[in-house]
């Protein structure tokens, strides 16, 4: 008898355990990924480089990268700007900024 009660209670706890809801990551789907805002389209690429790229660190030396590598880097940096709520480059500003960087780059 005692063993039956023990087994019953064990099963009961097992079932209750299965009923515990999974912890859910609290995701606020209403929170926008992009918190900041884009720079105005009137700014030149020179201004954009000096303003946007100095928000988190000193301006990088313009060396060592070909155009494709700069493109990947600028897109990565722009993603950081968006994710951290900084002012970021609008899609139309990305290519001219890369052109500017490549034109300023010391030959390598």
Distances (CA, A) of 50 to 23, 44, 58, 75: 45, 10, 9, 16
**Contact pick of 80, 90, 99, 104 for ligand HEC (by CB under 6 A):** 80
**Contact pick of 6, 44, 84, 104 for ligand HEC (by CB under 6 A):** 84
Tell me whether residue 6 or residue 83 sits nearer to ligand HEC (CB atom): 83
Of 1-9, 14-22, 34-42, 49-57, which part binds ligand HEC (CB under 6 A)? 49-57
Distances (CA, A) of 92 to 25, 37, 58: 35, 14, 24
- Answer yes or no whether residue 9 interacts with ligand HEC by CB under 6 A: no
Phi and psi at 79, nearest 5°, equal: -65, -40
Tell me whether residue 23 or residue 32 sits nearer to ligand HEC (CB atom): 32
Query: Which residues in this chain contact ligand HEC in the complex, by CB under 6 A?
Result: 52-53, 55-57, 60, 73-74, 77, 80-81, 84, 86
């Amino acid at each position: 008898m005692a063993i039956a009660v023990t087994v019953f209670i064990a099963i009961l706890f097992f079932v209750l355990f299965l009923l515990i809801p999974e912890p859910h990551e609290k995701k606020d789907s209403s929170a926008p990924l992009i918190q900041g805002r884009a720079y105005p389209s009137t700014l030149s690429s020179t201004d954009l480089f000096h303003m946007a790229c100095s928000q988190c660190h000193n301006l990088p030396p313009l060396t060592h990268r070909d155009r494709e590598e700069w493109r990947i880097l600028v897109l990565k940096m722009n993603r950081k700007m968006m994710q951290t709520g900084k002012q970021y480059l609008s899609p139309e500003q990305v290519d001219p900024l890369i052109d500017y960087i490549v034109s300023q780059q010391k030959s390598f």
